Structures are given as C-alpha cells and as structure tokens.
Chains A and B, each alone.
Chain A
Amino acid sequence: MSESAEHTPVISVRNLWKVFGPKAENVPENSALKGLSAAEVRESTGCTAAVRDVSFDVNKGEVFVVMGLSGSGKSTLVRCLTRLIEPTAGTLEFDGDDVRGMDTESLRTLRRHRASMVFQNFGLLPHRTVLDNVAYGLEIQGVGKAERRERAGEMVDKVGLEGLGHRRPAQLSGGQQQRVGLARALAVDPEVLLFDEPFSALDPLIRRDMQEEVVRLHNEEGRTMVFITHDLSEALRLGDRIALMRDGEIVQLGSPEEIVANPADDYVRDFVRDVPREQVISVRRAMRPADAGEAEDGVALTPDTLVSDAIEAVARSGKPARVMKDGKLLGVIDHDRLLSVVARLGEDDATGAAADEGKVAAV
C-alpha cells in the first residue's frame, strides 16, 4: 500500500453505487439498508443494487482483476468506469480527473483516447473487414483513412492476424474475432484497457492462448488493465491484484496469493477451495522459523518461490530448504510445511501467518 501512496492511481473509485430501479438515487443514502443482502434490498425498495459501495484503486501498469460469479455486478462495475452505465453515487477519478463531473465532450474524449474496452461477445461490425473494424476507433476520432489503415494494419499484425485484414468477422473463428476486438482496443493506444470477460465465450484451449497473449502484451507494453472474469484460474494467472465481488460488494481485495492463502470469509474460501494452492502460495507464507542448525544447510530459495517449485527442490535434496532474501535467512521450509499447504492442513497456520502479513508485506 505504501507504493500507491507515492503515485496517484490511474483509476480511483470511492463508494461507488449503481442501483437499478425506481427512485434508485435514494438507496445509497439509506443507511438502514446497509447490512441487508441484495434480495432483502430488492424486497424493501424494489431496486436492484448491482454495485454497492465499492472502493478501490488501479495502479499504473498493473493488471487489476475483478472476479465474481454472474450477477455479482462486475460487468456493471467496469461499465461504470467510463460511464457506459451511469453510476448512481460515489466518486470516480481517472488520473485525478473527476469522471462523474465530465460533460459529454470530455467524456467522449476519455472514451476515445484514454480507456478502451474489449467485450465478451466481441461487438464487431459484421459489414466491415477486419482492418476496418480495427480502424473503427480511429475513424471515430476522425483520423484520416490512410493513417488509420496503416495503424490498424500494425495492430492486426501485433495480435497475430497477419494476412487476415481483408476478411469479414463472420469468416473468423471465435478466438480470431476476439483478437480483432483486442486490436481494435489497442489501436487507439489507450492508457487503460478494460476487459469484460473477454475470453469466456471461447474454447478452453483458445482461452489459454488468448490469456498468454494478454500476458505478453502486458509484459511488452506495461499497459494498465482492468480485467473482468468469472474464471478463478484466469484471475490468478493474470491478476496482479484481484477484487472478489459478491452481490455488488467487494468481498476481498488482494494479491492472488493472499486470496488463496487467506480467504476473507467462507464464501471466498469456498471459491478458492479447488485451486492448486502449491501453484499460488509462495514459500514466504509456508515457511517456519529456522531451528538451530538449519541456518547453514539446505537449498536456498527466494521468498517468492512457489510452493510447487519448493517441493521439487526439497524432494531432490531430501532436506528442508532455506528461504533467503538478500543473504538473510527468513525461515525454513520442510516436508511437513509443504504437505500442509498442499493438503490444506495449514489453514489455521495460514491464518496465523496472516498475522505476520504486515511484516511480510513491508519487506
């Protein structure tokens, strides 16, 4: 958190509400509704609160994942960011600019130049060629034909659709179509890319490919991304931080490891139950203090090493491994600790470890 204090976040959301229904504007202010569930709110007001009092920051260069089941309000939330859906209450800043206070013109500028979106069902225009679809955003900005064609061509190549520029969307596979959607969003060179469940309509194998594509793009360009998904493994794979939503509220916000290792409540615990923990949790969280004599011996691992890798190292050496950072011994990890991660025995311990969290995070 100390990092974020130094830079202004790209997107800053505070107490954001989106309520659908009659007299929606009264719902956020009504403190009597505070503790109620979504169904109870609907019962008493006739309104549906799709987003309830949500606050978070998105930092520059990070991939911020919003995850939740369908109906949890995540798609509404991402649309609120550029006011494709008008928020009911709260504040919303983009690079320090008040988005909710923008007039039509500046809002349009925001959408044209600063944030662009990739949609679940692609949203391509069937009557245009791939190239013209990619160039669509530039066309709306008023960029000349030759220039936008050229830039669109680059983008088409960049997302791996070389030579398909003159096809129509209907002639492409689902994965290829979403590449067009991605290229269209990239073509306007936005500060932030918003993804609304972009890969959930795709086959698993293709989904994998596309996720790697996003990782690659992120590594190459370091663009800030907000990524909506209902797929936990996708969230864990891509996210620097994950906000887990339920019934319009953020239940937990943290790194993938924090969420898996340290679920905030039963709902989250349920959610992450089937996650292969050894592939998410690092040894920092699994280690124990070193006993005497262990300090000199054993394989040295960094604190970020995943448990799965540690298992390999420990198994090979047959001895506990040391967790080292900057030549300092932080702790030791042995068979028992590793097994307890895999077998989920250490939930209580993990909770205990969470007590150390402040210390760990500060390192």
Chain B
Amino acid sequence: MSTATTPTLDKEPAGGAQGPAPDPDRRSADTAQDGLAARLAANPKWLVIGFAALVVLVSAVVTGDGAWPGGWTADIRTPLEDLDNWLVDNRDSHWLFLYFLLHISNAAESGVDAIVSLFDSLGWVGVTVIGTLIAWAAGGADRSRRAVRTGVTALAVFAVCGILEMWAPTMETLALMVVAVIIAALLGLLLGLASGLSDRFEKLLRPVFDTMQVMPAFAYLLPLLLIFGVGIPSALIATVIYAAPPMARLTSLGLRGADPVALEAARSLGASPWQRLYTAKLPLARKQMMLGLNQTIMMCLSMVVLASLIGGGGLGDEIYQALGKLDIGTALTAGVAVVLVAVLLDRTTSAAGERLDASQTATEPAGMAKVRAAVWGGIVVLLAVFAAVGSAVWESEWPESWTVSWGQPVNDAVNWFTDHLGSGIPVVGGTVTWAEGFTEFILNPLRSGLLATPWWALLLLVAVVGWFVGTWRAALAGCVGLALIGAMGLWDRSMDTLSQVLGALVLTVIVGLIIGIVSARVERAERMLRPVLDTMQTMPQFVYLIPVIALVGLGRTAGIIAAVIYAAPAVIRITTQALRGVDPAAMEASKSLGATGKQQLFQVQLPLARKALLVGVNQGVVLVLSMVVIAGLIGGGALGYDVVQGLSKGNLAQGLPSGIAIVCLGIMLDRISQPAVRSRKGS
C-alpha cells in the first residue's frame, strides 16, 4: 500500500491542477496515515516505542493504580534522622569538624571578611577606580576600542549600582564572588589538569561532572547547611561546588584537544612531560580555559544569589527580603544590579580572552608587554594606597545624595500590568483564567495519568526511549533513577513533579522553537531578542516568581510559567543557532530549486538541524527541572516543596531524599533526551 501511494504523494502538486479535484483534506489525511504506517513498518524503532506507549496506556487504564510496591521501599528516614542528630551533637567536638571542616569554614569566613573590609577601606571611589582600571587592563591596557570599552563598561556598572542604592549589597556579593571565583577556578583547574592528563581520572570525574550538570543547585544546599551551618561558609562552598565543573571540564577539554602536531613536535624536540605541559599543553589550552573561567564566573554569580537562602547575604538577600515585603521594585532593582555585575564580569573576562586570541594574529608594539606589566603593578600600588587612605578621604559607601529610587514606580507599573493582564480582557479572558484551564485540562490529567500508570510500565517506556535516543547505558541509568525514587518511597510525589516538568518542558519547547525559528529567519528579531535573552538568563530566578503569582495565582502553573521563562532563552538560542548553522550549500541548493521559505524551513533547515535541536531539548530538560524546584517556593508543591521545607527547617530526613529524587528524575530525563552522540563521545 505504501508503495502505491508514495508516488501520488510526490505528484500531488502537479496532479491537483489537472484532474478532477479530489477532496484535498481526505487525501492528505490518507497519505499521512499511510506514511505513518509505512514509516512504522519500515522502522522497528518507532514500532517498539509505540508498543511501549501502548503498554503504558493500556496498563494505566486497566490497573488504574501505579503505586510503587510498598514492600520494595527502604526506610531511609531513620538513618538520616540519626545522621542529623549525630551532626548536631558532634558539630563542635568531633575531630572531623575540629581538624578539617572548621578550618574550611573559618578560612572561608575570614577570606570573605578580608575582601569585605578591603572594599570598605577602599571606599566607593577606590573600588570604582580600581575596578575600572582592572577591566581596562584586562582589555589590553591601551587605547584600543576593546580596552576602552571594557573600562567604560566597568565604570558604568559601578556607577549604576551606586545610583540604584545597591552599593552595599553589590559589594557584599562582589566580595563573595572574588573568593568563590578564585577557589572555584583553582579547584576546577586542578581537577581539569587531573582529568586532562590522566585517562583514569577522566573516567572517574566525567560521570561526576555529568551528574552535577543536571543536579539542581538546591539539592546540595541542605547537606552543606547541616555541616557548616547557615552563613558565608555554606554559601561559599555551595558556590564553589556548583561553579568549579565548567572550569574543570573545559580545562580538560583544552588539554585533550591541544593541537596534536604541536605536542608531537614538542616531544620530538625532547621535551620532558613537565616541559610539555608547561610550554605547550597549557598555552594551547589557554583559550578553552579562558572560556571555562568565564562560565565558572557566571555560574558563581547565579549561585551566590541563590545562596542567600543559606546566609550568603548580598544582592540575593536584598531580593529575598524585598520579596517578603512584596516589594517587586526593590527586588527588580537588586536583580538589575546582579545583571550588571554579570555584564561587568562577562565583558572583562571575555575581553581578556579576546586579547589572548588577538595576540596570536596581530603584532604588538614591542614595548606593550612591559607597559601592561607596569599597569598591573600600578593597580597593585594604587590598591595599597587606597586601602590605606581611602576610608579617611571618602565614604566607604556610595554617597546617598547621588541615588535615585525607582522602586515605587516599578512597583506601580508591575501591579498595573499584572492586574490588567490577570483579571483579563473580555472574551479572551485573563491569564488567571488560562492558568486555571491549564491546570485543570493539562496538568491534572497528566498527573493522574502518571499516577495511574503502573511503575513497571513506566520503567519499560523509559528503557525503550532511552535505548533508542541514546544507548543502553542511558536506558539503564534512567531505569535505575526511577527505581531509586520508588525505593525511597517518593514515587507519588515524584510523579507529581514529573507531570509538572513535562508540562513545563512541552511549553518551553513550543515557545523556544517558535521564537527560535522567528529569530533565525528575521535578522531584526534576533538583534532585538539578544539583550532580552541575556538579561533573562542572568536575572535571578526568584525575582519574577512573585509577579507570576499575580498573573496566574499561587499553584503549580505559576511554577511552570517561571520554569518556562527561565528555560526558554537557552532553547531559543540553541534553536536559532542550529537553524542558522545549517550548511549554506544545502540552503542555496534548495533555493535554486525554487523552494519557498516554508519549504526551506521544513524540508531543509529543521531536518538538518535535528541533532542540534535535540541538544536544545536536552538543555531545556535540565533547566526546567532546576526551576521546578524553585517553583516549590510558589506553590509548586511535590518534591520542590519538600526540599524547600527541609532546607528551611534544616531537616535532613525530609529534604535529602527529595533532593536525591530530583537528581534521579534529572538523570533519567537527561539521559533519555540526550542524543547518542554526546554519550558516546569520550574516546
């Protein structure tokens, strides 16, 4: 049958004009059906997936109860409670704390304190001047456009943070950042060296990094809280753990990817391993390492903000407190300060990276290296001078008379906006109505569906999908993750969370694809979107949690909306890049055949970009999951709420299993949405 209809499909456009017009709807429906059946028959993969899906449906309808068998759960609460008690009892007597953990804690505390008091004694003038100089020096310390632009950016960021009345929290955040970045970068460098030079370490560390990538930051705040208590050390360590992997990953990648010919040349000249590392491998990996540093810095920043939940202080704290008063204006102001700090750090590090690049393709005036050394020396001297006399000459904080308060107008604007959108326009209804519909007709059925599906059917589906999208390893990892959830007795709550994640994921992918396609095709749309996306990706998530409540009410939908807002930028970006990255020759060829824009999109761009788009979906999964936890703060319930509760009550037995369950869900979703290429890479 398929062979008979396929030609017709091809001829359709031509044939439609001549013969008696057949009912077009019926016809295309027919062919579509045939096409599907044919494809299924031709591709056993789809057949098996379809079969697994069928099993899920049928078993859900028949049994109607998916509960994990009670006998197969392990009691983990009791040992965790014991551990909790042990920690509390031994925190100030056990050797592990006295000789090890407390050192870390005290060092962290005094490190941050030192930087804070340094900023204090520098005063606002000192900080601004030195910050600007450092940015300028990183950009090349000359009159080139890059150096000047970087310096001016820094100056503007400091000024705006001051003017917005965010000077003090910005300094706190910066101080924590300085220490966190240094430690995270060093740790990342060492781990990166280890895994870049030794295959054994690479094998050991890779799964750890992989897991950490899908692990929501929230998940490990709790254990840290119990060990180090609330405050700077916990925040710092959480930040370091969160932010070190990119540096390690990219260092290792850089070391492994260094031009093999250059390395062989070094070897052929008789270089010892140490010489090879020092004179060839590290310099060759420099670009990647710079990129790693940049990513590490950005991740440090996002975590420093989040860590205000466990006593990190600074801008994150400012946001958190403002939200407690429903003061969106102040929260947003602090959020803008965070974005500005991100801009400052990003521009400065990428300018430094660009300079390294450029130094390989351009000849510099001979004396430039000396000038640069002199500039850095000058900065150090200036730092010392300012630190000594700064506090005597000017205030430590930005002068109050130079500030502008725009919190109230922003509040009014946000309120007006949310009120009008929320209650709605006649006929189309408001966001609140839509959100209710979404909960009722999508989320609730999805959740009850998942809850009604027997656990074994779900495992089967995960295994089959994982196997086909990735490898048997992916399938295994997914199943083990799910089984672990069941064994911890968190099956039902996890299914609730899973339903939210899936809902958010579908929305994210739809939104991401549509906007991504538009911005890939319309140059101007992309130009306009780029700064918006940048801001959305760096704006601390919980700034927009509260306005979302005003728009859609407290509940799961609010969390999902927040997750979509959070995850969509990355998906949009990847989609745009994927479509733009399609081989121009293929595009040209299809154009020369007279394809319309739509034909080009559906027949050339989307199919060719499929791999990259899958990466986008995968990225979406990871981001959505991390946000669903934060959505626990605004009525998302389920696992996210448990973690939040465990965290705020300092209750290990409640928070940790839920945190682990989230990680398991993350690993499961990540593995089954990860195209096989990525998991096979590594040789």
Contacts and interface: CB of A to CB of B under 8 A. Distances in A.
Interface string A128-151: 100000001101110000000000
A123 B360 contact: no
A188 B361 contact: no
A55 interface: no
A194 B284 CA distance: 24
A170 B360 contact: yes
Contacts of A125: 262, 279-280, 283-284
Contact of A111 (B270, B284, B356): B270
A30 to B, nearest CB: 29
Contacts of B266: 123, 136, 140
B268 A116 contact: yes
Most chain-A Cβ atoms within 10 A of its Cβ — which of B263, B265, B266, B275? B265
B361 A84 contact: no
Contacts of B265: 117, 119, 123-124, 181, 184
Given A127-B360, A171-B362, A137 B286 contact: no
B267 A111 contact: yes
A166 B364 CA distance: 9
A128 B264 CA distance: 17
Contacts of A167: 363
A299 to B, nearest CB: 50
Contacts of A111: 267-270
B361 A127 contact: no
A188 B269 contact: yes
Contacts of B356: 127
Given A123-B261, A124-B262, A126-B284, A117 B359 contact: no
B366 interface: yes
Contacts of B259: 123, 126
Contact of A122 (B261, B283, B360): B261
Given A125-B262, A168-B363, A108 B279 contact: no
- If over half of B's interface residues share one DSSP class (helix, strand or loop), that class is named, otherwise mixed; here it is helix
Interface string B395-429: 00000000000000000000000000000000000
Given A123-B265, A125-B280, A127-B283, A109 B360 contact: no
A110 B270 CA distance: 8
A125 B279 CA distance: 9
A108 B362 CA distance: 34
A256 to B, nearest CB: 28
B272 interface: yes
A123 B359 contact: no
A297 B148 CA distance: 86
A127 B278 CA distance: 13
A8 interface: no
A111 B268 CA distance: 6
B57 interface: no
A127 B269 contact: no
Contact of A168 (B264, B275, B279, B361): B361
A288 interface: no
A136 B261 contact: no
A108 B272 contact: yes
A171 B261 contact: no
A252 interface: no
Nearest to B364: A166
A301 to B, nearest CB: 45
Contact of A166 (B275, B360, B363): B363
A156 B279 CA distance: 21
A127 B261 CA distance: 15
A86 to B, nearest CB: 12
B271 A140 contact: yes
A123 B279 CA distance: 13
B268 A140 contact: no
Nearest to B283: A127
A122 B361 CA distance: 17
A76 to B, nearest CB: 13
A112 interface: yes
A139 B279 contact: yes
A117 B361 CA distance: 25
Contacts of A141: 270
Interface string A86-128: 0000000000000000000001111111001101111111111
Nearest to B356: A127
A188 B328 CA distance: 69
A53 B265 CA distance: 27
B359 A119 contact: no
Contacts of B271: 140
A136 B361 CA distance: 19
A140 B279 contact: yes
Interface in B269-294: 269-272, 275, 279-280, 283-284, 286
Nearest to A169: B360
Given A125-B284, A166-B366, A84 B279 contact: no
Contacts of B261: 119-123
Contacts of B272: 108, 140
Interface in A161-196: 166-171, 181, 184, 188, 194
Contacts of A82: 268
Contacts of A121: 261
A112 B359 contact: no
Contact of A123 (B264, B270, B275, B283): B264
Contacts of B283: 125, 127-128
Contacts of A168: 359-363
A25 to B, nearest CB: 22
Contacts of B263: 123
Contacts of A136: 266, 269, 279
B358 to A, nearest CB: 10
Contact of B264 (A107, A119, A170): A119
Interface in B311-331: none
A346 B164 CA distance: 95
B677 to A, nearest CB: 26
A272 B263 CA distance: 36
A312 B265 CA distance: 47
A137 B280 CA distance: 12
Interface string B346-365: 00000000001001111100
A184 B264 CA distance: 14
Interface string A301-335: 00000000000000000000000000000000000
B262 A127 contact: no
Interface in B351-389: 356, 359-363, 366
Contacts of B264: 84, 119, 123
Contacts of B286: 127
A117 B279 contact: no
Most chain-B Cβ atoms within 10 A of its Cβ — which of A127, A141, A170? A127
A120 B271 CA distance: 20
Interface in B228-267: 259, 261-267
A121 B269 CA distance: 16
B127 to A, nearest CB: 33
A84 B267 CA distance: 7
Nearest to A137: B269
Contacts of B262: 123-126
A289 to B, nearest CB: 52
B270 A171 contact: no
A126 B279 contact: no
A111 B266 CA distance: 10
B270 A127 contact: no
Nearest to A127: B283
Contacts of A110: 270
9 contacts: A84-B268, A107-B270, A109-B270, A116-B268, A124-B265, A168-B359, A168-B361, A170-B360, A171-B363
Given A122-B261, A123-B261, A136-B279, 15 more contacts: A82-B268, A84-B264, A108-B270, A116-B269, A120-B261, A123-B259, A124-B265, A136-B269, A140-B271, A166-B363, A167-B363, A169-B360, A170-B361, A184-B265, A184-B269
Lowest 3 CB-CB distances: which A-B pairs, in order? Answer: A123-B265, A112-B270, A111-B270
Interface of A: 82, 84, 107-113, 116-117, 119-128, 136-137, 139-141, 166-171, 181, 184, 188, 194
